[in-house]
Amino acid sequence: MLATCAEGRPFGLIPKGAVALAGNRIAWVGSKRDVPAALPKNCVVTEANYALVTPGLIDCHTHLVWAGSRFKEFQQRLQGASYEDIARAGGGIASTVAATRAASEADLLTAALARAAKYIAEGVTTIEIKSGYGLDKDNELKILRVARALGKRLGIHVRTTLLAAHAVPPEFKDRPDEYINKVCEEILPTAHAEGLADAVDAYCDTVGFTAAQVERVFVKAKELGLAVKLHAEQFSNQQGAALAAKYKALSADHLEQLDQDGVAAMAAARTVAVLLPGAYTYLRETKLPPIELLRVNRVPIAVASDLNPGTSPLASLQLSMHLACTAFGLTTEEALLGVTRNAARALGLRKLLGSIEPGKIADIVIWNAEHPAELAAQFGLIRPAAVLRAGVA
Ligand code: NIG
Ligand code: FE
- Element of type H or E holding 343: helix 341-346
If asked whether residues 104 and 36 sit together in one domain, one would say no
Which CATH number do you get for residue 231?
3.20.20.140
Q: In this structure, are 274 and 376 located in the same domain?
A: no
pLDDT for res 147: 98
User: In the predicted model, what is the mean pLDDT of residues 102-125?
Assistant: 98
The response to whether residue 306 sits with its C-beta less than 6 Å from ligand 1 reads yes
Beta partners for residue 44, in sequence order: 21
Q: What is the mean pLDDT of residues 281-298?
A: 97
Q: Which residues are near ligand 2, the ion (C-beta closer than 5 Å)?
A: 306
- What average pLDDT does range 347-356 have in this prediction? 98
Check if 61 has its Cβ closer than 6 Å to any atom of ligand 1.
no
Same domain flag for 172 and 264 = yes
When the pLDDT of each residue in the chain is averaged and rounded to a whole number, the result is: 96
The atom of ligand 1 lying closest to the CA of 306 is: 1
Strand 251-254 to strand 272-275: parallel, antiparallel, or no bridges (unpaired)? Answer: parallel
Whether residue 363 lies inside any domain: the answer is yes
Q: Are residues 223 and 242 in the same domain?
A: yes
Q: Indicate which residue's Cα is closest to atom 1 of ligand 1.
A: 306
List, for residues 8-67, the tens digit of each pLDDT value: 999 999 998 999 998 899 999 999 888 888 876 666 677 666 689 999 999 999 999 999
* Residue 89: per-residue pLDDT: 87
Pocket test for ligand 1, best of 64, 207, 303, 308 (most atoms within 8 A of CB): 308
- C-alpha span between 142 and 190 (Å, rounded): 12
Band of pLDDT at residue 303, cut at 50, 70 and 90: very high
Q: Is the CB–ligand 1 distance for residue 93 below 6 Å?
A: yes
- β-pair type (25-31, 17-22): antiparallel
**pLDDT tens by residue, 177-228:** 999 999 999 999 999 999 999 999 999 999 899 999 999 999 999 999 999 9
Where among 329, 346, 363 does a domain terminate?
A: 346
d(CA 313, CA 112): 13
Residue 85 CA to residue 321 CA, distance in Å, equals: 29
Residues 104 and 33 in one domain: no
Beta strands (DSSP E) in 166-324 are 199-204, 227-232, 251-254, 272-275, 301-303
**Number of the ligand closest to the Cα of 256:** 1
Residues 44, 145, single domain; the answer is no
Ligand 1: which of 311, 312, 314, 320 to mutate, judged by most atoms within 8 Å of the beta carbon? 311
- Kindly state whether residues 87 and 142 are assigned to the same domain: yes
- The answer to whether 368 and 385 are in contact (CB under 8 A) is yes
Q: How far apart are CA 24 and CA 270, in angstroms?
A: 29
Query: What does the pLDDT average to over 85-101?
Result: 93
Identity of residue 255: L
Residue 108 neighbours by CB under 8 Å, 6+ apart: 65, 66, 67, 100, 142, 143, 146
| pLDDT attached to residue 267 | 98
Among all bound ligands, the one having the nearest atom to the CA of 232 is 1
Is the pLDDT confidence value at 77 over 70?
Answer: yes
For 134, residues 6+ apart whose C-beta sits below 8 A from its C-beta are 97, 100, 101, 140, 141, 142, 143, 164
In the prediction, which pLDDT does 39 show?
76
Co-location of 105 and 45 in the same domain: no
Instruction: Check if the beta carbon of residue 279 is closer than 8 Å to that of residue 328.
Output: no
Task: Say whether both 101 and 76 belong to one domain.
Answer: yes
**Residue 393 in domain:** no
What is the per-residue pLDDT for 241?
Answer: 98
Domain at 9, CATH number: 2.30.40.10
Pocket flag, ligand 1, residue 203 (CB < 6 Å): yes
Domain count, the chain: 2
In a domain, 291, yes or no: yes
The full 3-state SS of 282-311, as one line of letters, equals HCCCCCCCCHHHHHHCCCCEEECCCCECCC
Percent of the chain scoring above 90 in pLDDT: 90
Domain that holds residue 39: 2-55+355-388
With 70 as the cut, is the pLDDT of residue 284 above it?
Answer: yes
The ligand whose atoms approach the alpha carbon of 66 most closely is 1
- Identify the H or E element spanning 374: helix 374-377
The verdict on 113 and 196 lying in the same domain is yes
Mean pLDDT of 377-382: 96
Same domain, 44 and 76: no
Tell me how far the alpha carbon of residue 152 lies from the centroid of ligand 1, in angstroms.
26
pLDDT for residue 42: 67
Does 379 share its domain with 265?
A: no
Q: Is residue 215 part of a domain?
A: yes
